[in-house]
Amino acid sequence: MIHDHNSLQNIQDEQNHSNFCITLNPLPDPLLEVLPAEAQQCFNEIEAATQRRDVHYIKRIEEFILEYPYLPKLYNFLEGLYIIDEQEDKAKKLAKIMYDKFPYYLFAKVAYAKCCMDAGRIDDFTRIFEGKSHLKELYPYRDEFHVSEFLAFTDVVFTHACHKKNFDLARKLIKELKSMPFDFDHVVEDLEARLERFEYPNRTF
């Protein structure tokens, strides 16, 4: 049920028959809460720059990671900006580093799984996600996920389904996104285009 633009959306996990929620609001992060005030301010600036896709912050994030190497979100921000800045080799190397350091961090799993699939190692997906294909199954102790987590996980599951030619699952994921009361139109359009390329690889687009 949606109460307002930023509130929670209940999702029914069909496999586990358990509910979880997605939210647009920031979720608590104990690692950030104990940072010194100056470091928290710097982190907030970096997060805002990442959301703006500002690649000029790459150097600053690299330096901040040296000071706070235990913050997984910094690696996620940096990997995303590397991709935007077309530094693909650095992005791939960082995805592996992030996964090795934080194997239970969702965005580390997603980034590394995508690298593996890009390299043709499709079945590594199962190992990375421990044979699980639902957020609540992967993190049973959590009842709430940020929308970015939900979309990242949906995207990587979709990509794996397409590689395995499980197009029924891919279409099901698209249908689920369409049914949700969020503005996922651009995401749906991207997935539909990718699905068509997987289904008809010889077609000229």
pLDDT bracket for residue 19 (50, 70, 90): confident
Q: What is the DSSP letter of 130?
A: T
Instruction: List, for residues 93-102, the tens digit of each pLDDT value.
Output: 999 999 999 9
H helix runs in 29-70, sequence order: 30-33, 37-51, 58-67
What is the pLDDT of the chain when averaged over all its residues?
Answer: 92
C-alpha span between 164 and 160 (Å, rounded): 6
Given a contact cutoff of 8 angstroms between Cβ atoms, the answer to whether 174 and 156 are in contact is: no
3-class SS of residue 126: helix
Taking Cα atoms as reference points, which of 131, 146, 1 lies closest to residue 73? 146
Tally Cβ neighbours within 10 Å of residue 109. Answer: 23
Give the pTM: 0.90
Higher pLDDT among residues 185 and 15, named by residue:
185
On the question of pLDDT at 182 being above 70, the answer is yes
Structure tokens at 178: 């369409």
Specify the higher pLDDT residue, 170 or 4: 170
- Dist CA 60 CA 43 (whole Å): 10
Nearest residue to 72 via CA among 125, 32, 44: 32
The first and second tokens of residue 107, run together, are 């965005």
Amino acid identity for residue 106 in this structure: L
